[in-house]
Amino acid sequence: MAFEFEPRRMYRMPVCFGPAYGPRSGIGGRTYKNLALKTTTYSVSFLTNREQLEAIALPGFEVGRGPIVTVSVVLLREIEWLAGRGYNVVTVTFPVVYDGEKDHAVGDFMPVVWENLADPIITGREEIGWSKIYAEIPEPRVQDNRVDCVAGWMGFKFLDLKIKNLVQLSPQELEKHKQDVSKQRNDGVMHYKYMPRTGSLTDPDVSYVTIRPSVGLGYVREMWRGEGTVEFYEATWEDLPTMVDVVNALHNLEKVEYREAWVTRSVGGTDLSETRILL
């Protein structure tokens, strides 16, 4: 019997073996309750130069409520769609306002995401338009009330993120922090989905903004406040032949002053299928 596409099923290359498996489509088309059951996030923020961020922000974006960059190392564990396995992530975000022909959104722009596993990179790029690339992201080193996180590529370390003097928030402080965050408008995290057209690589097959709404982000159980630093190391083309421009642009961002540093532990989270296109 010749191959036929099944209606209302999601496909991804290689398509000839049937519908795709991944975070938004399991065996028989099943969906998953949680993107990750357990998440630990190490974040450091710093005030930078607005003009430098505007050079990174794409058309339609303006730098939002202060030029503050947040770099996070995220550990995702007990992931249902990976049959209980996990992986590590590095994200970079800064606040933006997006004005399109139809849509208006206030939130955060995530220009790049590094992950240390191919499966979430492929599915996240193709299905929801996240700018994901690969990096080696080992387990953080936690000792004496401090955390040291690194990321690299084929032996070249391009990121150091450190947090020290951690103090856990009390239940009352945690609840107040959640309330304070909820009072700030944040429609979600925005990305720019772009894929070149085969046979005409300077033209796009797709080119548009996506947003992951600020819903279903998981339940925050514990938080620690600390003092943090983050450093992207300048690279040569020989060090990072496919992403030297990315790392060096982040290395060149001025650090006017460091702001918040947090360790957050949460549970739950959606499969991100609520991500949509902004027009």
Residues 120 and 181 occupy one common structural domain = yes
Contact criterion met (CB below 8 Å) for 74 and 40? yes
Query: pLDDT value at position 215?
Result: 75
- Give the residue ranges of the chain where pLDDT is below 70: 34, 216
Query: pLDDT value at position 32?
Result: 83
CA distance 159 to 153: 10
Query: pLDDT value at position 220?
Result: 94
Residues 86 and 197 occupy one common structural domain = yes
Residues 2 and 52 occupy one common structural domain = no
Residues 62 and 9 occupy one common structural domain = no
Query: pLDDT value at position 31?
Result: 86
Query: pLDDT value at position 199?
Result: 97
How many structural domains are present in the chain?
Answer: 2
Query: pLDDT value at position 182?
Result: 85
Q: Any long-range contacts for 26-31 (C-beta under 8 Å, 24+ apart)?
A: 26/81, 31/271, 31/273
Residues 182 and 90 occupy one common structural domain = yes
Instruction: Report the CATH number that the domain containing residue 197 is assigned in CATH.
Output: 2.40.400.10
Residues 38 and 27 occupy one common structural domain = no
* Count of helix runs (H) and strand runs (E) in the chain: 4, 14
Query: pLDDT value at position 163?
Result: 98
The pair of three-digit structure tokens given for residue 81, joined into one six-digit string: 């769609």
Residues 268 and 151 occupy one common structural domain = yes
Residues 75 and 5 occupy one common structural domain = no
In whole angstroms, how large is the CA radius of gyration of the chain?
19
Residues 6 or more apart in contact with residue 187 via CB below 8 angstroms: 105, 106, 107, 211, 213, 214
Closest CA to 113 of 213, 20, 270, 243: 243
Structural domain range at position 120: 33-278
How many C-alpha atoms does 79 have within 13 Å on its Cβ side? 22
Query: pLDDT value at position 151?
Result: 98
Residues 26 and 129 occupy one common structural domain = no
CA distance 251 to 232: 5
Residues 6 and 92 occupy one common structural domain = no
Sequence-ordered strand ranges (E) for 100-155:
104-115, 132-134, 141-143, 146-153
Residues 185 and 109 occupy one common structural domain = yes
Q: How many CB atoms lie within 10 A of CB 245?
A: 11
Q: Cis bond leading into 140, ω under 30°? A: no
pTM as predicted: 0.95
Distance of CA 275 to the CA centre of its chain: 13
Residues 71 and 157 occupy one common structural domain = yes
Q: What is the DSSP letter of 25?
A: B
SS3 193: strand
